[in-house]
Amino acid sequence: MRLTLSIKAILNCFLIVPLTSIAQIQKVSQKLFDTIKLKEHVVTLASDSFQGRKPFTVGETRTVDYLVNQLTEIGVEPANNKSYLQPVTIVQTNYVSRTIDVQSRSGSLILENPKDYAIWTHNEDTMALLKNIPVVFVGYGLVAPEYKRNDYANVNVRGKIVLLLVNEEDQAGSFLQKGKPLTRYEQTEYKIAEAARQGALAFFLIFGRNSLPFPFEMLQEHSSGETIHRDRAEPAIGGGISREAFHKLLKASDMDSNIYMNASYSDFKPIELSLNFSTSIIAKSKYKTSSNVFGKITGSKYPDDVIVYSAHWDHLGIGKPDEKGDSIYNGANDNALGVAVILELARAFKNLKIKPARTIVFVFFTCEETRTPGSIWYVQHPVSSLKKTVANLNIDGFNRFGRTKDIVIHGTGNSTLEDDITVEVKKQGRYVSPDDPKDGFYFRSDQIRFANAGVPALFFSRGTDYINGGVAYEKTVKEKYWGYHTPNDQFNEGWRFDGTVEDMELLFNVGLRLANNRVWPQWKPQSQFRSIR
Ligand SMILES: [Zn+2]
């Protein structure tokens, strides 16, 4: 009886019956969310027939059709007049050849593509040529007055090429914040835009094997063959080089390879290398259209106030085969599961007896795996103005290993949305684990586009303290079931949805609370995003 009442209470708007026992919540979540549907979505979206859901392939057509059918069936309204699609214009560049020639005092130095470097352009010309351009190492390429930091001080890089380190961490974590979380200055986009503001003709990011946001190997793979991008404020030519290649350049300039070490110190000074680069790129670019897919439930009282739930639908497609010869990157966790979760959250909201007071948008972004042009586009063309956008709740991967005692929120300490979800977590008798301040995950998926635009954004992640197996089980998970960005990210019958629905309930309740309130989530005083709102 009590259980029935609880479900009714949930369906009727507010979760007012305190839920204390985990067993009880378990049952409630499973009633609220259909685990069979969740599984169906994942199995379909991550099947070989969807070919890894790569934009501009048959995988996109199948995925987008599936999402439109599901949103129609669930019965939420199209968010773009009569359409569930938001067309996103993207530039796709295919390369014929790309080379860098390095001239040092002692002659020319051979760098090999793709072993030593990756290079790309967003010029739509078929040729991008630079001849004998001086090169400056600008450390981490930061201009951050609040941290009294200017890596471009006393140097003019106008008309030159800059080399800069990715990220902003050393062994101790963020050096800007002395071991505390990474700052928004660690974003590659920020660094590239800064290089453009400084007038650089081209930039090369220096990657290590373990560097964030990803290792050099991944950059090589992602930029081979084609690149996908949007017009933005950045130098026409960009690229990355490996640490090993950077060492070669330093050696050729008679410099100590330890100048890295100094780059994190505030008294770091940019260094002009005694060499020149010439680049040649032959490429064909064209404008193409991909799609974000979105539906909405219009708010009954405050239709202009919008809460955005999101997950990206795209993945890596067909690529380098693994040792078993599998070349389809199914992306079952990344992010078929996230998509499944948002679809079923949409259904739960649609099933509410009383419509939410504010509008709720459910959006599936394109091209997250290629520098997030889908969410950049959405933020530039939102359903309601960003001032009226209450919050973004984004997921990228989700729990599939069973129930956990905890959950992790990335980018801790940024917004009051974390307090909202903490209340819900406690109601479930669970706890919030701190994220690793060094992980930087907050900067790595679509939520960052909302945060950069000032909209409070929550990036929710699974817990690691399992009811069966505790934190030790996380190790097994990582060793046995991890397939991040490999063909091994596949659905298997070992997946468990009991933890999935329990976590979904948290997201549901946070959204519901925001939707039936006129509260505006805030950036916390210490948050670096506060000044933007
Ligand atoms: Zn992802």
Long-range Cβ contacts of 255-262 (<8 Å, 24+ apart)? 259/137, 260/165, 262/139
- In this prediction, residue 318 carries a pLDDT of 94
**Mapping DSSP to helix (H, G, I), strand (E, B) and coil, where does residue 365 land?**
strand
Q: How do 271-297 and 85-104 pair as beta strands?
A: antiparallel
- Structural contact between residues 108 and 217, judged by C-beta atoms closer than 8 angstroms: no
Helix (H) or strand (E) holding 229: strand 226-229
- The pLDDT-based confidence of 231 (bands split at 50, 70, 90) is low
Angle (CA) 336-338-339 rounded to 5° is 65
CA of 491 to the centre of ligand 1 (A): 15
Q: Give Dmax over CA atoms of the chain in angstroms.
A: 85
How far away, in angstroms, is 335 Cα from ligand 1 center? 5
pLDDT attached to residue 64: 98
Confidence tier at 444 by pLDDT (50, 70, 90): confident
Which residues have a beta carbon within 5 Å of ligand 1, which is an ion? Answer: 334-335, 396
Q: What is the pLDDT of residue 284?
A: 83
What would the mean pLDDT of 330-335 be, rounded to a whole number?
97
Give residue 14's pLDDT: 31
Residue pLDDT, tens place only, 96-145 = 889 999 999 889 998 998 899 998 887 766 677 899 999 999 999 999 88
Residue 285 pLDDT: 79
Q: Is the pLDDT of residue 501 over 80?
A: yes
**184-225: per-residue pLDDT in tens?**
788 888 899 899 999 999 999 998 766 666 678 777 766 666
Counting residues of the chain whose pLDDT is more than 70, the rounded percentage is: 89
Whole-number Å distance between alpha carbons of 201 and 416:
41
Residue 455 has pLDDT above 50, yes or no: yes
Expressed in angstroms and rounded, the spacing between residue 30 Cα and the centre of ligand 1 is 25
Q: What is the pLDDT of residues 6-17, one digit of tens each?
A: 333 333 333 333
d(CA 441, CA 185): 14
Q: How many Å lie between the centroid of ligand 1 and the Cα of residue 399?
A: 13
Strand partners, 237: 121, 202
Q: Looking at residues 486-502, what average pLDDT do you find?
A: 94
Report the separation in Å between the CA atom of 251 and the middle of ligand 1, taken as the mean of its atom positions. 38
- Using CA atoms, how far apart are residues 223 and 281, in angstroms rounded to an integer? 13
Name the residue with higher pLDDT: 399 or 7.
399
- The rounded mean pLDDT for the chain is 87
Q: Note the pLDDT of residue 11.
A: 33
The whole-angstrom separation of Cα 150 and Cα 216 is 26
Q: Is the pLDDT score of 167 beyond 90?
A: no
What's the gap in Å between 396 CA and the centre of ligand 1? 5
